[in-house]
Structure 1
Amino acid sequence: MVVVYSRADRIFRRIVTAGALTSLLLLGLIAGFLIFRSSGTFREFGLSFITGSEWFSAGEDPVGGATTALADADDVSVFSIGPMIVGSLVVALIAMVLAVPLSIGGALYIEFYAPRAIYRVLVSLLDLAAAIPSLIFGLWGIQIFTPIGVRWATLLNDRLGFIPLFSVEFENFSRSPFVAGCVLAALVVPITTSVAREVYSRTPRDLIDTCFALGGTKWGAIRSVVIPYGKSGVIAGAMLGLGRALGETVAIYLMLNLVFDFSFQILDSAGGNVASMIALKFGEATDKEISALIAAGLVLFAITLIVNMVAASIVQRSTPRA
């Protein structure tokens, strides 16, 4: 069969093709800039830039586990971001563990249980919450949520302190990855809930009606039809939230102390992430340190790209079974 395209079809095809190519071009230009400006850092420090835990410019006081000999040398700079990568992953995972169940539950309530009189109000509030700047969440976290989060952290430490993950050397929970992860979860929930609700709303009505016709309950229809049908979309929304959590800057900058030390204790008052480190150090950085900060940005760019690729792969594998 020969498909004949009209003039309008050809014009539209060229426009959308140009848009897609522009997006790829911008992504390539960003990657090229990051690689070009960070190449000197990777040539000098190699893999230790990713795995090490020292950060100081020549003549500055060392941050992290720098040796005394290096710290005393006025012409030596050492840069590595291992603890910041770990911190990014730890805080983001805490946020997603809290956010995903809340998002799924919230989306199901809004779509299937909320009274029609408040349905539109809830959807509007959800969209509004997704647009709130992260600075507002950070300020809310410091002023309002921190006392609540400290009580939760204290409870976890009292009940589960025998587990290394929840043990602490000093009981100062206010600026811990756990509290920061809770605030980050509040930031991510509106985004993932909005995506999940939209996916669930597209479940074919005839499938739900068939379940009811066979004697199923509303919960039975949700469990056997709605959730399986929307699984791939919910996974995509969760990965979108994870990407946002990994790259969050201002909220983490306000909530965490920047400490260059590997730590997997989520209640300890130490941490940081790659994005907040870049924001903290960029203003007063030397030329060599700027190159290292751009290299850190390249690492964060690569992590986010990998997360999105994994998400796309999961969605493709989940869609046929939905």
Structure 2
Amino acid sequence: MTVIDQAPAADAEAATPRAIRQRPERADHVFRSLTRGGGIIVLTVMILVGLFLTVNAVQAISARGLVEFITTQDWAPESNNFGIAAVLSGTVMIAIVALTLSLPLSLGTALFITEIAPPRIRGILTSVIDLMAAVPSVVFGLWGLAFLQVNIVQFSQWLSTWFGWIPIFRVDGADPANPLPNDALYTSSTFIAGLVVGLMIVPIQTSIMTESFSRAPIGEREGAFALGATRWGMIRSVVLPFGRGGIIGGTMLGLGRALGETIAIYLIISPIFTINFHILQNGSNSVAALIALRYSESNEFTMSALMAAGLSLFLLTMAVNFTASAIISRSRSGAESEG
């Protein structure tokens, strides 16, 4: 409820502006308390997770040294020779491949649903996207292992043959002139794992982008058409600027999911502890897959090393999320589409 104070008397010597005060109702107080409490709980849980990982990682980091822990590629805690250089770089490479696939696919799907598809088909597509988000990651992993990997090898060979002069597409030991190429060189690679993870994060990104695009102001849409804009012109000048925050938020949320994916990557990759920037070549690794692989056989010190690796992934994910929040706060949806 808004209250406006009475104006000063007409003969007052020093008239001052009337103060406008708000008196929140009981429902507003309850709503603010619930939302504030929810935010505090989430923040507290994040802090407790970070503290738990830090406390349990101190033993391994102190024994190895922070610089050596970051720069070492091997993983042999039993001999005090371990680090996250290989697994962290593999995690980032898989996430980059996943985003390269998922971003254009999600963006195109969201624009098709909101701007082109008829209302009946729009509802069906939205339901299908939501159902895809509920598919367990182990199902994606099994599908990638049993179906995608077998059928994508020839495409990997084609990329290596024609674009092998680019370092990321080069495969060591591959001979383009050999009529019987060795398929094992191209399996269990960063490329295949990234494709599977990319398909896993498409539903999340598409849902967020669809919701953002659907909220573009109707008046600005019609105004663009009235000024002679084509459908693509309207999308480019109204929908995309208004939905920029949704595009960034969906992309960063998908990136966070890709960085932390475990089971699908664990089923597909052939784990190695060497930095491998050749995405088509056999062998890769990730922090989450490493923890899943070594957790059951770990002693106290090895568990501390795994906690240190988990802490690095936690900090990387937090950095991505905070960066996304900073970008979104500076580019609010609709900021460039307001008349």
TM-score normalised according to structure 1 size: 0.92
Secondary structure of 2:22's aligned partner: coil
In the aligned structure 1, how far is the partner of 2:151 from the partner of 2:249? 31
- Structure 1 segment 130-169 matched on structure 2, within 5 A: 130-169=133-172
- Deviation of the 1:7 alpha carbon: 3.2
Q: Select the residue among 65, 78, 81 that pairs with 2:81.
A: 78
- Structure 1 segment 111-260 matched on structure 2, within 5 A: 111-171=114-174, 172-260=185-273
Give, as a single letter, the amino acid of the residue that structure 1 aligns with 2:89.
V
Q: Select the residue among 40, 47, 55 that pairs with 1:28.
A: 47
Conserved? CA contact 2:270–2:283, under 8 Å? yes
Q: Report the equivalent of 1:70.
A: none
Q: Report the equivalent of 2:282.
A: 269
- Structure 1 segment 55-70 matched on structure 2, within 5 A: 55-58=75-78
- Deviation of the 1:20 alpha carbon: 1.4
Q: Report the equivalent of 1:64.
A: none
Q: Report the equivalent of 1:47.
A: 67
Conserved? CA contact 1:107–1:197, under 8 Å? yes
In the aligned structure 1, how far is the partner of 2:291 from the partner of 2:80? 17
In the aligned structure 2, how far is the partner of 1:256 from the partner of 1:222? 40
Q: Select the residue among 94, 105, 108 that pairs with 1:91.
A: 94
- Deviation of the 1:116 alpha carbon: 2.1
- Structure 1 segment 241-320 matched on structure 2, within 5 A: 241-319=254-332, 320=335
Q: Identify unmatched segments of 5+ residues in structure 2.
A: 1-19, 175-184
In the aligned structure 1, how far is the partner of 2:107 from the partner of 2:24? 43
- Deviation of the 1:284 alpha carbon: 0.6
| Residue 336 of structure 2 is aligned to residue 321 of structure 1 | yes
Conserved? CA contact 2:50–2:311, under 8 Å? yes
> 1:97-128: CA deviations, max 9, x gaps?
11101111111111111122221111000011
> 1:169-228: CA deviations, max 9, x gaps?
134212110111111111111111111111110100111100111111111111111111
> 1:260-290: CA deviations, max 9, x gaps?
0011111110111000000000011111000
Q: Report the equivalent of 1:73.
A: none
In the aligned structure 1, how far is the partner of 2:111 from the partner of 2:146? 31
In the aligned structure 1, how far is the partner of 2:216 from the partner of 2:35? 28
| Residue 28 of structure 2 is aligned to residue 9 of structure 1 | yes
> 1:5-29: CA deviations, max 9, x gaps?
3333323322222221111111111
Secondary structure of 2:28's aligned partner: helix
Deviating more after overlay: 178-187 vs 3-12: 3-12
- Deviation of the 1:130 alpha carbon: 1.1
- Deviation of the 1:81 alpha carbon: 1.4
Conserved? CA contact 1:138–1:252, under 8 Å? yes
Q: Report the equivalent of 1:61.
A: none
Max radius of gyration: which structure?
2
Query: What percentage of residue pairs aligned between the two structures are identical?
Result: 40
Secondary structure of 1:168's aligned partner: coil
Secondary structure of 2:130's aligned partner: helix
Change beyond 3 A, Cα 1:318–1:13: closer
Conserved? CA contact 1:153–1:179, under 8 Å? no
> 1:25-66: CA deviations, max 9, x gaps?
1111111111111111111222211210121243xxxxxxxx
Secondary structure of 2:281's aligned partner: coil
Higher helix share: 1
Secondary structure of 1:2's aligned partner: strand
- Deviation of the 1:233 alpha carbon: 1.2
Aligned length: 305
In the aligned structure 1, how far is the partner of 2:236 from the partner of 2:85? 42
TM-score normalised according to structure 2 size: 0.87
| Residue 103 of structure 2 is aligned to residue 106 of structure 1 | no
In the aligned structure 2, how far is the partner of 1:55 from the partner of 1:219? 51
